[in-house]
């Protein structure tokens, strides 16, 4: 039974468009494409699961959830049902029109997060656009203030402003971003490599003093907001230490600076709680959501404190920003997540996986640090646990080899010095929260197998990998 009766094309024609592609077409598309394409053509995801197949029939356990977004797994049937139902009614409306899914989502989101975050702006562009919405709202509510504080090695998006607010990769990225004069960076509390060289057990959060100093001496203009991932994702899977966000909030309050959490990665169950705000018990003034919210459909949401002034009609809207199909997907996705207690599942599976990885660490000095929580896992590889020299080449090779064994992992952002990667050594393990115990075990088995392989690489092999890495990353 087909869901719709096409009017102009036949179902066979539509299927042929979407299910068949020749190697020649792929080669031609690569020539046309201004952006790079991976070598696999992904074709089909396991409904509600963690497995994805390519057009050659290869199966992969996806420990990336496609940019950490498919928290409920690929093509969740309930999300699809909501989407199909919504598409029978409306697929697109102009931004200023209310629709039933938009009304319900505006009312539902504030119920999920701590603090008085009852004001909501929605879009269908994703995280970067939502970060910019938060920046606009901060400037509206603190007139005259146009500066923002952002941490080292943050990632907030790929628009010109969010590139400026993110970790800069000279050479790899050929523009520093716009608005640099509005952005001031401060060290992220990365305890494994403490930016102020303290012992995390006894430091009394000395890194917060730097934030205080940056506020005092780092800008010549009033500061509107401080944007932070409460647990850094692309920067290396780094949770802020206990007490840090509470301290940051106190500093922001004292200086009348809006505290803005970028929870694109951490919200919706991945860390074993609905949000990092809940996990740490510290609510921000604004919360940026995306990724896991849409169940695979594009969406972004800004939540803001109840007392904050909102936007005029021209300040926040885009042509496709109010897509009812994505909002319908998000509504079903949220209920599925809660009904299945996916935060609880992520917590349990995460505890299991990190315990297994820590056990591996005892036998493999290449594993420098294992970080969670939940299924927000980072495994930092180092050449030597004492010197902590990043095992960048081995990490890259590990991801490549794991792919050949049918598991997709990823690594963190590179630090580039004179075109050479000096850091990109944290393996990210962030599968759909619906991954089965068996699949997770298989992914960890593969991790251990390829870890042993990369441990054996000779210095010559490492040089070769480094050259390959540079070639692949650099502009053509
Ligand atoms: C923490 C964080 N913020 C913002 C973004 C940007 O989101 P988008 O790519 O949807 O603009 C990302 C994307 O990876 C992210 O990880």
C-alpha angle 185-186-190 in degrees, rounded to nearest 5:
130
Ligand 1: which of 65, 71, 126, 228 to mutate, judged by most atoms within 8 Å of the beta carbon?
126
- Is the CB of residue 234 below 6 angstroms from any atom belonging to ligand 1? yes
Q: Which domains does the chain have, with CATH numbers?
A: 14-72+343-476 (3.90.1150.10), 81-339 (3.40.640.10)
CA distance 17 to 20: 6
CA distance 95 to 93: 6
Confidence class for position 2, pLDDT limits 50, 70, 90: low
Q: From ligand 1's centre to the CA of 290, what distance in Å?
A: 8
**69, 73, 28: which is closest to 48 by C-alpha?**
73
- Is the CB of residue 292 below 6 angstroms from any atom belonging to ligand 1? no
Q: From ligand 1's centre to the CA of 276, what distance in Å?
A: 16
Mean pLDDT taken over the chain: 96
Confidence class for position 172, pLDDT limits 50, 70, 90: confident
Q: How high is the pLDDT of residue 476? A: 63
Atom of ligand 1 at shortest range from CA of 126: 10
Q: How high is the pLDDT of residue 3? A: 65
- Is the CB of residue 126 below 6 angstroms from any atom belonging to ligand 1? yes
Q: pTM here?
A: 0.97
Position 1 pLDDT exceeds 60: no
Q: From ligand 1's centre to the CA of 183, what distance in Å?
A: 18
Give the E-state strand segments of 50-165 in sequence order: 51-54, 59-62, 119-123, 147-151
Confidence class for position 421, pLDDT limits 50, 70, 90: confident
pLDDT digits (tens, 9 = 90+) for 224-242: 999 999 999 999 999 999 9
CA distance 245 to 357: 27
- Is the CB of residue 65 below 6 angstroms from any atom belonging to ligand 1? no
pLDDT digits (tens, 9 = 90+) for 249-308: 999 999 999 999 999 999 999 999 999 999 999 999 999 999 999 999 999 999 999 999
Q: From ligand 1's centre to the CA of 389, what distance in Å?
A: 28
Position 435 pLDDT exceeds 90: yes
Q: Taking residues 30-55, report their average pLDDT.
A: 96
Q: What is the residue with the minimal CA distance to atom 13 of ligand 1?
A: 157
CA distance 135 to 301: 13
Query: Of residues 5 and 108, which shows the higher confidence score?
Result: 108
- Is the CB of residue 265 below 6 angstroms from any atom belonging to ligand 1? yes
Q: What is the residue with the minimal CA distance to atom 7 of ligand 1?
A: 127
Q: From ligand 1's centre to the CA of 222, what distance in Å?
A: 26
Q: How high is the pLDDT of residue 470? A: 77
pLDDT digits (tens, 9 = 90+) for 63-88: 999 999 999 999 999 999 999 999 99
Contact of 225 with 148, CB cutoff 8 Å: yes
Give the E-state strand segments of 74-142 in sequence order: 119-123
Pairing assessment for the beta strands 258-262 and 231-232 based on DSSP bridges: unpaired
CA distance 74 to 467: 35
Structure tokens at 165: 């607010």
């Amino acid at each position: 039974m087909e869901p719709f009766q096409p009017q102009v094309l036949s179902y066979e024609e539509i299927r042929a468009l979407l299910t068949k592609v020749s190697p020649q077409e792929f080669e031609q598309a690569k020539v046309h494409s201004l952006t790079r394409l991976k070598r696999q053509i992904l074709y089909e995801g396991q409904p509600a699961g963690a497995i994805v197949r390519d057009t050659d029939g290869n199966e992969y356990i996806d420990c990336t959830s496609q940019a950490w977004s498919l928290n409920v797994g690929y093509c969740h049937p309930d999300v699809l049902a909501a989407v199909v139902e919504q598409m029978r009614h409306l697929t697109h409306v102009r931004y200023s029109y209310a629709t039933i899914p938009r009304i319900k989502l505006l009312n539902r989101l504030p119920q999920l997060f701590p603090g008085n975050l009852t004001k909501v702006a929605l879009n269908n562009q994703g995280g970067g656009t939502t970060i910019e919405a938060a920046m606009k709202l901060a400037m509206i509510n603190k007139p005259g203030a146009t500066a923002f504080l952002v941490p080292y090695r943050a990632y907030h998006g790929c628009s010109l402003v969010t590139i400026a607010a993110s970790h800069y990769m000279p050479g790899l990225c050929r523009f520093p971003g716009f608005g640099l004069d509005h952005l001031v960076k401060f060290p992220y509390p990365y305890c494994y490599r403490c930016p102020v060289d303290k012992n995390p057990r006894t430091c009394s959060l000395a890194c917060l003093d730097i934030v205080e100093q940056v506020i005092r001496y780092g800008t010549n203009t009033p500061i509107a907001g401080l944007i932070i991932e409460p647990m850094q994702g692309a920067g290396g899977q780094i949770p802020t230490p206990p007490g840090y966000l509470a301290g940051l909030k106190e500093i922001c309050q004292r200086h009348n600076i809006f505290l803005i959490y970028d929870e694109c990665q951490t919200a919706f169950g991945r860390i074993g709680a609905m949000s990092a705000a809940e996990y740490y018990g510290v609510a921000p003034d604004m919360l940026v959501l995306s990724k896991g919210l849409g169940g695979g459909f594009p969406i972004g949401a800004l939540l803001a404190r109840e007392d904050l002034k909102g936007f005029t009609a021209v300040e926040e809207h885009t042509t496709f920003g109010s897509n009812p199909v994505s909002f319908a997907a998000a509504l079903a996705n949220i209920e599925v997540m809660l009904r299945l207690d996916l935060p609880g599942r992520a917590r349990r599976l995460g505890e299991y996986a990190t315990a297994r990885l820590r056990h591996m660490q005892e036998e493999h000095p290449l594993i420098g640090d294992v970080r969670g929580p939940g299924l927000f896992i980072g495994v930092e590889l180092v050449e030597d646990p004492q010197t902590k020299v990043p095992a960048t080449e081995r990490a890259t090779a590990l991801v490549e080899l794991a792919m050949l064994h049918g598991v997709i992992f990823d690594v963190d952002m590179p630090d580039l010095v004179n075109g050479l990667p000096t850091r990109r050594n944290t393996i990210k393990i962030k599968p759909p929260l619906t991954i089965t115990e068996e699949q997770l075990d298989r992914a960890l088995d593969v991790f251990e197998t390829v870890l042993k392989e990369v441990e054996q690489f000779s210095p010559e092999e490492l040089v070769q990998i480094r050259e390959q890495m540079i070639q692949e990353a650099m502009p053509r």
